[in-house]
Structure 1
Amino acid sequence: MATADDADTDDFREVVALEDLAESGRELVSLEGTPIAVFYHEGEVRAVNNRCPHMGFPLVEGTVDDGILTCHWHHARFELSCGDTFDPWADDVPTYPVEVRDGTVYVNPTPPRDLPPDEHWTRRLETGLEENLRLVVAKSTIGLLDAAVDYREPVARTLEFGTQYRDSGWGSGLTILGCTANVIDDLEPEDRKRALYTGVRHVADDCAGEPPNFDQPSFSTRDVAFDRLKSWFRDCVEVRDADGAERCLRTAVAADRSDADLAELVVAAATDHPYLSSGHVLDFANTAFETLEHADGHRGDEQTLRGDALASLVDPLVTASRSDEQSSWRRPIDLVALLEDVYGGDVSDTSGLEALASSGDGVNSDSPWSPPANFQETLLGDDPEAIVDALADAVRAGATTEALATEVAHAAATRVAQFGTANEFSDWNTVHHTFTYANAVCGFARRTDALETYRGVFDAAINVYLDRFLNTPPAPIPDPGENETGRDPDAVLEDLLETFDAEGEVNEAGRLIGEFFDCGGDPAALKRTLGHGLLREDAGFHTLQNLEAAFRQFDLASERATAGGNGTGEGAEASANEPNLERRRRVPLIATARYMAAHFPTRREAEQTFSIASRLNRGEAIHDD
């Protein structure tokens, strides 16, 4: 208990007579809008914030015994004199200096602050990750962004945690972290907090109960030729030798190989067999590289973080299911044999692709390759030989991996946009997996010019073919101008959110996207609305992936539309050899709106936690004091 000499008496406020406090044992006072619980215990006067830092329950209604204040709601315990909690999920409660003068208790309403907000919330973030505490994660992510901390800092910390404390390697949690980081700039400020909270809590949940990861070291030498290291890495993955593969990959990182080289290593091993684990392996790998881009410069040892993140891809690679071993790729048509004819041997070969690409060198020195008028029709057709031939002809004609990957990704997005709701619900994920795989191939095509990326293009196209029956009959995609109602675009967005509040509004969600564009709506506002609609739900791994891929493909299509036609991207008509670019840019957002509508609404438990955390961080009363 402080005396008059311990602090500036001008900062203290008279609150209660000591005699009255001793008799009641506790009193609730309000100083400058702050509710403060004042206790008399073991001959000492103590003052703490009345709101339990866990969930805001009035601590004045708690119990004090043996120097411990216990909240009666969730039984959080606090050391009364300093406010420190016994329970990591509760956080510490602020305490206030007190004085007793002439039989009257005085309290200073300004609590001493041990740490600035950014350091406090960083520590709480680490606790939330370690203990898998959803409310702590919500408070800390909100607190960090409110303290003007760059979102990349907690993303980097979470990436570091997720790679160190999950022995089975990169999984859905880290993928969600990367997806939310990729779309965060497209969101409203409050939804950026939701996005960071979503990514961090999924990583914490993914790591809960998992054994930690124990690294394999790099080789001592840094002089292994890149082609040899690549060959070793692929061979180790082929025979499912995780330890050997990790040492090869870590050696490449330790040798300061470029991101393009590292991407070449990974994409080569990830396409030695087609469509590994329903596309997840390549998607995980692409997201790992993208997450590292967000984390770059926000952790001390960047090489270690890069090594840990990429090494976490080894387990998914060596344990993956291989589509060339599945009947759907072998019967009734041997699709693997079609690919082998192009590749020049087995599915891990590239000699045939090398010959095709060599014949295309210099073909388009004056202008880039442009797809034939019927190219999308072929990709979405029912003749796999025609699909493979069209892709091979494109490579021969000088099509880059990026150009071809973009075409196949659009075809995959079309499968989602035209998914027939008469199909089994689980088949939404069949078309979804193809779409996100194709999007990942686009990511690698931008990152490296490795010849193996062409294999990812062919694999994605084959899977677009396999998904054809899920568009029978195809759901209609609204054409530009089809829903030109003249309504206020904001009203259309309100209707879109309402479709997510009801089950089965799949086709209406797609129609509203078309109407929004026809009414002259701003795509940025549409992305913000779709992001908000997603983040308020208990969205699963696939739904978060789907939105991120749709945003990426929309941006790519918009860039293409801006470069062609009238240069504005709005209503630009394509040349005779191009599809309608305005229709094309809408397809990914129509696809994700339909996918979201199929999976919403949910119970929104995560949103309730986020709301509680936001109110607690703002100092709002959740319960009556």
Structure 2
Amino acid sequence: MSVPDNRFVEAVPLSDLQSEGRQLRTLDGVQVALFDHEGEVRAVDNRCPHMGFPLTEGSVDDGILTCHWHHARFELSCGDTFDPWADDVQAYPVEVHDGTVYVDPHPEPDESPEEHWANRLDVGLEQNLRLVTAKAAIGLVDADVDPAEQVERGVLFGTRYREGGWSSGLTILSLLANVLDDLRVEDRKRALYQGNVHVASDCAGQPPKFDQDAFDARDLSAERLKSWFRDTVEVRDPDGAERCLRTAIANDCSQSALAGMLVAAATDHRYLDTGHTMDFVNKACEALDTVGWEHAEHVLPSLVEGLATADRAEERSSWRQPVDLASRLDETFARLDDLVAAGAGEEWTEPDDFTDTLHSDDSEVVVTALEEAISEGATVEELAGAVAFAAGKRVAQFATANEFSDWNTVHHTFTYANAVHQLSQRTDARELYRGVFDAAVNVYLDRFLNTPPAPLPDAGESDADAEQLLDDLLATFDREGQVNEAGRLAAQFLDAGGDPGRLRQKLGEGLLREDAGFHTYQALEAGFAQYDETADHERKRTLMVAVARYLAAHFPTRREREQTFTIAARLQRGEAIHEE
């Protein structure tokens, strides 16, 4: 060829490049680093894919380009990195004609943006690379890929590559998927990034999960499989339990029946793993709502190991002394069918003082009130919602004189109660009543953490600037010890007639910029879920106070993950990270 293809742009005289060894040129808006090395002309994006440092200031030796900022190394001819944490650099096709170097600054990609970023997400998950995962989250959203596809990749990866099964990472990804619509568009990218980063971190260094097979039998009833499943979980036999569950899935048991199997096993003992087990069951079901129940065979078996090995609350002294709460509930559960039968055809209305009753200092008052409610026709869903609010109010009124770790105690009760409430809308399994009692007993056990209760904020000024209140709320997360102020600002925002959606956006913004822990993500999503379950303004207000106070108690953090996301976003926009 004597004339370059019209995609190629004139870059530099070959003689100049050969004499200097490297040149920087801006070609059609792209900064291109050109190198003459070992008799060949090479061209790559001048921005190091790690943090944007100019690669023309790096060094080239033996076909390797090294960035001097963090010593990331790249194979010069194709741009592939030796150091996966840095990511690959874009290489550009080069042609030389009549002593002039030409470069194609916009080469035809080998794959579509959707395929490219999906593949990069897979790499980020497999190798636990935050920067790659962040770029993929941004790239997929910018390519208008349904967020559910990112969630699906993360969920299927997490359930396959973690022998220990479902854990905090998958829970975080699933709950963030639940609140995506509450977030700003930019924060949806952060949410998908944060969720998949936690999945990758959970799986890093873990052996993969190898599946048990379903039984060959296809004529087993759902009730028999449920019975076998519970029996195998009871004796801590995860392999046998997995075969029962997989057989139920292969037999096309309904979503309700599958959820019923899981919640029955999760309530055969009290308050498994301080509530995490039930929350994991709920989140796995919610994840399937997002990614499709056709993936049940991959997702639900990841719960079995946790169910079979969980700590059982009746084995702890707090459930046995000074009151034998576990034995008291056994008495109730022995009469549960009779209580339900007594309430058949009745409609229960929650008494005005029911939250106060659930906050009683007398466990017998609490248990008796629930028994009476069932005999009066209260459904699992109705009681679960009432108990979930009582648990949320404990968080809203948590006394900060307690030890910091006690935030987790009230938090676990709230998220467990929320899980029971959400599952009650998915399955009619009568065993779920037991989850209501477990949650209520834990509300009782948490009573000392509201002694004295932090007062709920007084009604604020109705003419306050709502947007300023939101800015002030976000600012409280920059300083330690702003728990009560955060609760006050959230309440005052609602009192001033502020849009609850804006409050949720701001709370999500505050959460997603932090190196938040597992429980903090749970607190936000459970608060939002329970907010949506009630029409009562005061309850909504109390729940948002609970969320704001919990977040403020755990912020600020180092914000390392946010720094990585910011770098990825700036690189995607073509900014020079090393320059202000």
TM superposition score category, shorter chain reference: over 0.9
> Given that residues 96 and 112 in structure 1 are in contact (C-alpha distance below 8 angstroms), is that contact kept between their aligned partners in structure 2?
no
Bigger shift: 56-65 or 71-80?
71-80
**Aligned equivalent of 2:215:** 219
Which residue identity is paired with 1:312? S
Does the Cα contact within 8 Å between 2:491 and 2:545 map onto a contact in 1?
Answer: yes
Identity %: 63
Q: Deviations over 1:77-121 (max 9, x none)?
A: 323222233333333322223333332223232233111111111
Assess if the C-alpha contact under 8 Å between 2:491 and 2:544 holds in 1: no
CA-CA distance at 1:326 after TM superposition = 0.9
Instruction: Return the alpha-carbon distance in structure 1 between the equivalents of residues 443 and 375 of structure 2.
Output: 22
Are residues 1:269 and 2:246 paired? no
Match of 1:601 among 553, 556, 566: 556
User: Does the 8 Å CA contact 1:245/1:314 hold for their aligned counterparts?
Assistant: yes
Q: How many angstroms apart in 1 are the aligned matches of 2:330 and 2:101?
A: 86
* Structure 2 residue aligned with 1:436: 415
Moved more, 431-440 or 373-382: 373-382
Q: 2:527 aligns with which of 522, 547, 550?
A: 550
Aligned pairs for 1:472-621 (under 5 A) are: 472-478=451-457, 482-557=459-534, 561=535, 581-621=536-576
Deviations 1:247-292 (A, max 9, x none): 0011111111111000100000000011011000000110000011
1:122-137 alignment runs, 5 A limit: 122-137=118-133
The one-character-per-residue Cα deviations of 1:442-481 (angstroms, maximum 9, x if unpaired) are 01101001100100000000000000000000001135xx
Query: What is the CA-CA distance between 1:624 and the residue it aligns to?
Result: 5.2
Structure 1 residue aligned with 2:71: 75
Q: Distance in 1 between matches of 2:84 and 2:559?
A: 25
- 1:223-302 residue pairs with structure 2 within 5 A? 223-296=219-292
| 1:170 is the counterpart of 2:166 | yes
Paired residue for 2:308?
318
Is 1:389 the counterpart of 2:349? The answer is no
2:41 counterpart of 1:45: yes
Aligned position for 2:22? 26
Superposed CA deviations along residues 161-191 of structure 1, whole A, max 9, x for unmatched, are 1011110111111111111111111000000
Separation in 2, partners of 1:329, 1:593? 30
Pairwise CA distance, 1:483: 0.9
Alignment pair present for 1:333 and 2:323: yes
Across the aligned residues of Structure 1 and Structure 2, the Cα RMSD in angstroms comes to 1.4
The amino acid that maps onto 1:417 is A
The 2-side partners of 1:420 and 1:292 are apart by 37
Give the whole-Å Cα distance in 1 for the aligned partners of 2:307 and 2:282: 13
Give the letter for the 2:344 counterpart.
D
- Mapped to 2, the partners of 1:43 and 1:263 lie a distance apart of 66
Aligned to 1:459: 438
Asked if structure 2 preserves the Cα contact closer than 8 Å seen for 1:237 and 1:245, the reply is yes
**1:109 counterpart letter in structure 2:** P
Alignment partner of 2:177 out of 171, 181, 184: 181
Rounded Cα–Cα distance in structure 1 between residues aligned with 2:365 and 2:101: 88
How far residue 63 of structure 1 moved from its aligned partner, in angstroms, is 2.0
Deviation at 1:146, TM superposition (A): 0.9
Gaps of 5+ in 1: 297-301, 345-351, 562-580
* Other-structure match for 2:96: 100
In structure 2, what residue type is equivalent to 1:353? Answer: L
Which whole-Å CA distance do the structure 1 matches of 2:291 and 2:150 have between them? 9
User: Deviation digits for residues 515-552 of structure 1, max 9, x if unmatched?
Assistant: 10111100000000000000011100000000000000
- 2:136 paired residue among 133, 140, 157: 140
CA–CA distance in 2 between the matches of 1:493 and 1:547?
Answer: 16
For the residues of structure 1 that align with 2:228 and 2:117, how far apart are their CA atoms? 44
2:353 is the counterpart of 1:353: no
Alpha carbons 1:94, 1:111 under 8 Å: kept? no
CA distance in 2, matches of 1:308, 1:96: 41
Q: 1:534, 1:596 within 8 Å by CA — same for their partners in 2? A: yes
How big is each residue's C-alpha offset from its partner over 1:144-169, in whole Å with a ceiling of 9 and x where there is no partner? 11111111001011101101111011
Tell me the CA shift for residue 18 of structure 1.
1.6
The offset of 1:223, in angstroms, is 1.0
Of 106, 111, 116, 1:115 maps to 111
Query: What's the offset of the Cα at 1:586?
Result: 1.2
SS of the equivalent of 2:86 reads coil
Is the 2:2–2:98 contact (alpha carbons within 8 Å) kept by the matching residues of 1?
Answer: no
CA drift at 1:485: 4.5
Report the CA distance between 1:53 and its aligned residue.
Answer: 1.7
In the alignment, structure 1 residue 373 sits paired with structure 2 residue 328: no
Q: Determine helix, strand or coil for the equivalent of 2:529.
A: helix
| Residue 447 of structure 1 pairs with residue 430 of structure 2 | no
2:59 to 54, 60, 63: 63
Report the secondary structure of 2:321's partner residue. Answer: coil
Question: How high is the TM-score relative to the length of structure 2?
Answer: 0.98
After alignment, is 427-436 or 41-50 more displaced?
41-50
**1:142 offset after TM fit, Å?**
1.0
Structure 2 residues not aligned, in runs of 5+:
none
Shift of the alpha carbon at 1:14? Answer: 2.9
Distance across 2 between alignment mates of 1:337 and 1:94:
66
- SS of the counterpart of 1:112? coil
Partner SS state of residue 467, structure 1: helix
Aligned-partner Cα distance in 2 for 1:115–1:83: 17
Shift of 1:222: 1.5
Report if aligned partners of 1:513, 1:590 keep a CA contact under 8 Å in 2.
yes
Q: How many residues align?
A: 580
